[in-house]
Amino acid sequence: MKPTLVLVGRPNVGKSTLFNRLTRSREALVADVPGLTRDRHYGHGRIGPKPFLVVDTGGLDPEAQEGILAEMARQTRLAVDEADVVVFLVDARQGVTPQDHAIAEELRRRGRKTLVAVNKAEGLPLEEARTEFFELGLGEPIPISAAHGDRVAELLERALSDF
Ligand code: GDP
Ligand code: MG
């Protein structure tokens, strides 16, 4: 069985950019089934010989300010249900936000294998990115650049090491 890697995080952290990098070819995309895959995109990825399934989550309504933290937690719960590994993206340029904390709390409660990827870290001091996001309580964060590809292979190797 291919492991399923699910990308979570608040809007604009770079989930879709990372998804696109992991599923470059057209054949990698799995057709979205209306109804079944609400707010989800599925694709096939590969690191070395290891295939995996990757899921992009989205669909948070930016207008829905009311209860946005609760909605974020709900989306995160749904995503984790289908994950073997969760990649939780945060934004190196914005730092830790209250929404990040809400998602982190949900992920810690669920206990699924989770890696924190500190995206948009190109050109920033790596140690700073790691230290700041360590407070999310989900282990050693990995600074990456989804846009440029920096340390994406390292992220995948850690994410899929048990599979
Ligand atoms: P999503 O809402 O989490 O799916 O985020 P997107 O993938 O749509 O990206 C949101 C914005 O962040 C876009 O303008 C991207 O071009 C930008 N972005 C994504 N990854 C990176 C990165 O590694 N570095 C920088 N500087 N910008 C990025
Ligand atoms: Mg997106």
Q: Grade residue 66 by pLDDT with cuts at 50, 70 and 90.
A: low
Supply the residue whose CA is at minimum distance from atom 25 of ligand 1: 120
Burial class (CB in 10 A: 0-12, 13-18, 19+), 33: exposed
Q: Which residues are annotated as a binding site for GTP?
A: 9-16, 56-60, 119-122
Domain around 105: 4-159
| pLDDT, tens digit (0-9, with 9 covering 90-100), for 37-62 | 456 788 999 998 899 999 988 755 54
pTM for this prediction: 0.91
Supply the residue whose CA is at minimum distance from atom 11 of ligand 1: 12
Nearest ligand by distance to the CA of 39: 2
- Which CATH number covers residue 147? 3.40.50.300
Is residue 107 pLDDT above 80, yes or no? yes
Give residue 88's pLDDT: 96
Considering only CA atoms, which of 96, 148, 102 is closest in space to residue 118? Answer: 96
Give residue 34's pLDDT: 53
Give residue 75's pLDDT: 74
| Average pLDDT estimate for 71-87 | 84
Q: What length is written for the chain?
A: 163
Percent of the chain with pLDDT over 70: 85
Chain-wide mean pLDDT for the chain?
87
Residue ranges lining ligand 1, Cβ < 6 Å = 9, 11-17, 58, 119-120, 122, 145-147
Which atom, in ligand 1's list, is nearest to the CA of 148? 23
Considering only CA atoms, which of 68, 97, 90, 121 is closest in space to residue 8? Answer: 90
Is residue 145 pLDDT above 80, yes or no? yes
Q: Which of 7, 8, 17 gets mutated to test ligand 1 (max ligand atoms within 8 A of its CB)?
A: 17
Q: Which of 28-32, 37-41, 159-163 is modeled with the greatest confidence?
A: 159-163
Nearest ligand by distance to the CA of 20: 1
In this predicted model, which residue has the larger pLDDT, 89 or 78? 89
3-state SS, 107-159, equals HHHHCCCEEEEEECCCCCCHHHHHHHHHCCCCCCCEECECCCCECHHHHHHHH
Separation of 60 CA from ligand 2 center, angstroms?
9
Give the CA-trace dihedral at 22, 106, 125, 127, to 10 degrees: -120
Split into its structural domains, the chain has a count of 1
Separation of 49 CA from ligand 2 center, angstroms?
27
Distances (CA, A) of 160 to 34, 55, 89, 128: 29, 14, 16, 25
